[in-house]
Amino acid sequence: MQTKGRTWRKRQIKSVKTTSLAHKQEYIALFQWAKQNGVFFHKMKPAIFPGTGRGLMATKQINAGDLLISVPSKLLVTEEVLRNSYFDGINSTKALEFSTIELLCLFLILERSLGKQSFWSAYISMLPLDYNMPAYFKHHELKHTPDFFAEHGWSQVKSIRKCYSSLKKFLLDFNDKTKSIQLTFDDVCWAWNAVNTRCVYMIGKARFKHSPQKDNMSCSLAPLLDLLNHSCNVQVTAGFSETGKCYQILTKTKFKKGDQVFINYGPHSNRKLLIEYGFILPYNCHNSVKVHPTLVYEVVSNHYGDIAKRKFDVITKYCLEDTYYCSPNGLSWSLETALKILSLNDTKLVQKSFHINNLQLSTENEHLVSEFSKEILKSILVKYDKDIARIWLCTDGKDGLSERMQQLVMLLEQEMNTVQSALNTF
């Protein structure tokens, strides 16, 4: 039986209580298989939680410094294991054409085709059936999404098509045992999203010595880790232990009995979480909204006309454009500093006393910076209104917007609130 897992989050928001899954046969089979093969998990059981869907519940108190889970190397689906499993010779030109992501997709597709005969059946049968990443949006839906989201969507689809082409050729031409598998684009789309939402990164030892990858990192699949949901409010230490020969996660956060046990994927905004993992958090301390440099200069030009090249030179010298954004607390330091530079008289930029960390503004210039800031933020809000209105033009029959599109609207509304909070600081 396959479950919805992480993509259940939005549809489970209405749930008012936590429901244990420990009694369900598929979870009993998964945890028994994991224990029999050396997986350690600390005082936790599977459950459905309001707002986050499937996760792990602490059955006893878990203290900071405790080991949450460890997956032995024999259960880590790594590049090296797969290249040795699926290719006759490690120097094969065809073998080296495959990326690590493509190999992991091949693994999931081949093992799923074996059903219960696969050693990995207990794990693979519990992977979600679908996802909320941009690549899973229907084509007509993507055409109604904001540019940033559509660009990621088409880019992901392009990567999946490349993966599909590579795997189809392999299954038809390279291995007699796999010719009977009827590979579909949907199979590859499912596998690609499963890999990209669930892989962990290994350093050094996990690299295959003939790998075509350029860096010293390799993504791998580690069963059961994906049962742990993300929170921006917890801290963990995660990685491969050379001593224990396992991938392990230690918590730096205390959990009481009955709490959901979280890990931290990194300092990701909800936009990044939706694009790369297919979910958003009700509250995310890392939320911010990028401000495009073009908008900044359009607003300033409306007041000043052409902007002097000298001002652009200063902004470029200090790489200020890289971090133009706003948060609920206002504008980023780099954006505020750029606006100060843009408000200054050109002659002040060449004075010896000029320093980017000590900009002296007149009352008039401070007023200008405030006006620039408010106009920029208001323009962003207008853009969000238009983006959301465009999404609502894309309805799915009588049911209105699909759940994926509804979640995207929720993200945009969260970002609007961030911009409005920034505007309220002026």
| Domain locations in the chain as residue ranges | 5-277, 289-423
Of the candidates 146, 103, 133, 422, the residue with the CA atom closest to the CA atom of residue 288: 422
Is there a contact between 39 and 74 (Cβ–Cβ < 8 Å)?
no
CATH superfamily of 5-277: set domain protein methyltransferase, domain 1 (3.90.1410.10)
Q: Taken in order 267, 370, 321, 280, is the CA torsion positive or negative?
A: positive
- 426 residues of the chain, pLDDT tens digit each: 444 444 434 444 444 689 999 999 999 999 999 999 999 988 899 999 998 889 999 999 999 999 999 999 999 999 888 877 766 544 455 656 778 899 999 999 999 999 999 999 999 999 999 999 999 999 999 999 999 999 999 999 999 999 999 998 888 766 555 656 789 999 999 999 999 999 998 765 544 444 444 444 578 999 999 999 999 999 999 999 999 999 999 999 999 999 999 999 999 999 999 999 999 999 999 999 999 999 999 999 998 888 888 889 889 999 999 999 999 999 999 999 999 999 988 766 656 566 788 788 889 999 999 999 999 999 999 999 999 999 999 876 567 899 999 999 999 999 999 999 999 999
- How far, in Å, CA of 66 to CA of 58, rounded? 12
Bridge-partner residues for 202, per DSSP? 218
Q: What is the pLDDT of residue 87?
A: 63
pTM exceeds cut of 0.85: yes
- How far, in Å, CA of 277 to CA of 85, rounded? 28
- How far, in Å, CA of 72 to CA of 247, rounded? 6
Q: What is the pLDDT of residue 351?
A: 60
- Number of C-beta neighbours around residue 147 at 10 A: 9
Q: What is the pLDDT of residue 199?
A: 93
Please give the structure tokens belonging to residue 257: 């009995």
- Number of C-beta neighbours around residue 173 at 10 A: 11
Q: What is the pLDDT of residue 198?
A: 94
Q: What is the pLDDT of residue 353?
A: 60
